[in-house]
C-alpha cells in the first residue's frame, strides 16, 4: 500500500511541476524554419505575441491588401549618404470605392488601448519586445530587409507606415551585398489575435539598391 502511495505522490509531483512551468511565453515554430525574432524592432505598441501569431500562419495573397512605396523611389538607386525614411501606404487608399474596407478597422473600444500602447512604446527601450503586456489592436506591418544572399539585415514590426532606420542599421544595409529586398506582411489584430478576415496578407516584395 505504501508503495502505491509513493507512486501516486511521484505522479502528482510530476504533474504539478509541469503545470508550474511558464506556458505563457510565446513560442515560434520548431525546426529549421523557426523564425528568429530576437532582433525585431517593435514600433507603435506592437508585441511579440502578435508577431508570433502572424508568423504562425501562411500569408494570403490579396491585391486589396498590398502596399505601395511613397519614398524612397525604389526604382532608382537609394543614396547611401544618410538613412532613408521608408514610407508606404495601402494600395487601396489610392483607389478606394465607397463602402470598401481593405482591412478591418479599429473598433472604438480598442482605440484607447492603442493609445495606451503608444505611451508604453514611448517609455520603453526601442528594441524591447512587449511580451505579456498590453495586447495589440489594429493593423500592423512586419518588414524584413534581406541582402542579395538572403541574409536578414533588419526586422521591423510596426503599426506605422513610416520608419527611418538608425544609423548603425543603415550602415549595415549599405555594406551588405546588393541588391536588397524588402518583404512586407500585414495583419489586423484583436488583442494580439488575428480574426478570420484579418490576414496575414502578403503586402509586397520590393527589390532596391543602395549606392
159-174 confidence digits (pLDDT tens):
999 999 999 999 999 9
Q: What is the pLDDT of residues 49-60, one digit of tens each?
A: 999 999 999 999
Reduced to 3 DSSP states, what percent helix, strand and coil does the chain have, rounded to the nearest 5?
A: 30, 25, 45
Inside any domain, residue 9: no
Residue 138 CA to residue 148 CA, distance in Å, equals: 33
Quick: pLDDT tens for 127-140: 444 455 689 999 99
Is 157 a domain residue? yes
3-class DSSP assignment, residue 65: helix
Number of domains, the chain: 1
Residue 98, judged by CB atoms within 10 A of its CB (0-12, 13-18, 19+), counts as exposed
Residue 5 located in a structural domain = no
pTM above 0.85, yes or no: no
Amino acid at each position: 500500500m505504501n508503495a502505491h502511495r509513493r507512486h501516486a505522490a511521484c505522479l502528482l509531483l510530476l504533474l504539478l511541476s509541469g503545470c508550474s512551468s511558464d506556458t505563457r511565453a510565446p513560442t515560434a515554430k520548431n525546426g529549421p524554419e523557426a523564425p528568429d525574432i530576437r532582433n525585431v524592432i517593435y514600433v507603435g505598441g506592437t508585441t511579440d505575441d502578435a508577431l508570433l501569431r502572424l508568423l504562425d500562419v501562411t500569408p494570403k495573397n490579396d491585391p486589396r491588401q498590398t502596399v505601395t512605396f511613397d519614398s524612397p523611389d525604389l526604382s532608382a538607386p537609394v543614396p547611401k549618404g544618410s538613412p532613408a525614411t521608408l514610407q508606404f501606404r495601402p494600395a487601396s487608399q489610392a483607389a478606394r470605392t465607397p463602402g470598401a474596407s481593405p482591412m478591418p478597422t479599429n473598433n472604438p473600444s480598442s482605440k484607447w488601448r492603442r493609445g495606451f500602447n503608444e505611451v508604453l512604446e514611448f517609455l520603453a527601450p526601442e528594441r524591447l519586445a512587449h511580451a505579456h503586456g498590453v495586447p495589440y489592436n489594429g493593423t500592423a506591418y512586419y518588414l524584413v530587409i534581406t541582402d542579395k544572399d538572403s541574409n536578414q539585415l533588419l526586422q521591423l514590426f510596426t503599426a506605422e507606415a513610416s520608419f527611418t532606420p538608425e544609423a548603425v542599421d543603415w550602415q549595415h544595409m549599405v555594406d551588405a551585398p546588393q541588391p536588397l529586398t524588402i518583404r512586407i506582411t500585414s495583419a489586423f489584430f484583436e488583442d494580439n489575435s488575428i480574426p478570420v478576415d484579418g490576414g496575414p496578407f502578403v503586402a509586397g516584395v520590393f527589390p532596391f539598391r543602395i549606392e
